[in-house]
C-alpha cells in the first residue's frame, strides 16, 4: 500500500521507520539506570528492558535481579528482532576489552 500511495504522490508515514527514528541512541561507555527482571542465557547475566522494549543484558547482573541499578554500556548489537544492549554493573568500569 505504501508503494501505491507513493506512485499516486500521496504522503506516506511508515510507523515502523518512525518508531526506529524515535528510539534513543545508546553508545558504548554510556550509563543507564535499569531494573533487572530475569536471568540471561549465560551464567551470571541479568536482563532488563528499556522503556521502548530494547533488551539490556548485564554481565554479572544476576545478583541484582529485582533491583534497579546503574550499568555501563559495553556494546550494542543489532539483530533482526531489534537492538540488544550489553552492559556491566556501574561498579565495574567500561574498558576497551569489552568492544
Give pLDDT, residue 56: 96
E strands along 51-92, which residues? 55-59, 68-79, 82-89
How much is the pLDDT for 60?
Answer: 95
For residue 18, the model assigns a pLDDT of 77
Positions in the chain whose pLDDT score sits under 50: 94-99
Residue 98: what pLDDT? 43
Q: What pLDDT does residue 76 have?
A: 93
Beta bridge partners of residue 55, listed in sequence order: 49, 84
pLDDT score of 97 = 43
Residue 89 CB-density burial (10 A; 0-12 exposed, 13-18 middle, 19+ buried): middle
- The structural domains of the chain, ordered by start, are 26-98 (2.40.50.140)
pLDDT at 95: 46
Which parts of the chain fold into alpha helices (H)? 2-7, 15-22
Spatial neighbors of 23 by CB under 8 A, at least 6 apart, are 52, 54, 83
Q: What is the pLDDT of residue 92?
A: 63
Amino acid at each position: 500500500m505504501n508503494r501505491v500511495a507513493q506512485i499516486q504522490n500521496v504522503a506516506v508515514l511508515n510507523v515502523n521507520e518512525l518508531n526506529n527514528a524515535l528510539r534513543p541512541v545508546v553508545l558504548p561507555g554510556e550509563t543507564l539506570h535499569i531494573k533487572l527482571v530475569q536471568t540471561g542465557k549465560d551464567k551470571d547475566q541479568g536482563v532488563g528492558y528499556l522503556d521502548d522494549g530494547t533488551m539490556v543484558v548485564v554481565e554479572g547482573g544476576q545478583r541484582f535481579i529485582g533491583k534497579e541499578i546503574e550499568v555501563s554500556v559495553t556494546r550494542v548489537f543489532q539483530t533482526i528482532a531489534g537492538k540488544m544492549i550489553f552492559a556491566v554493573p556501574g561498579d565495574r568500569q567500561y574498558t576497551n576489552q569489552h568492544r
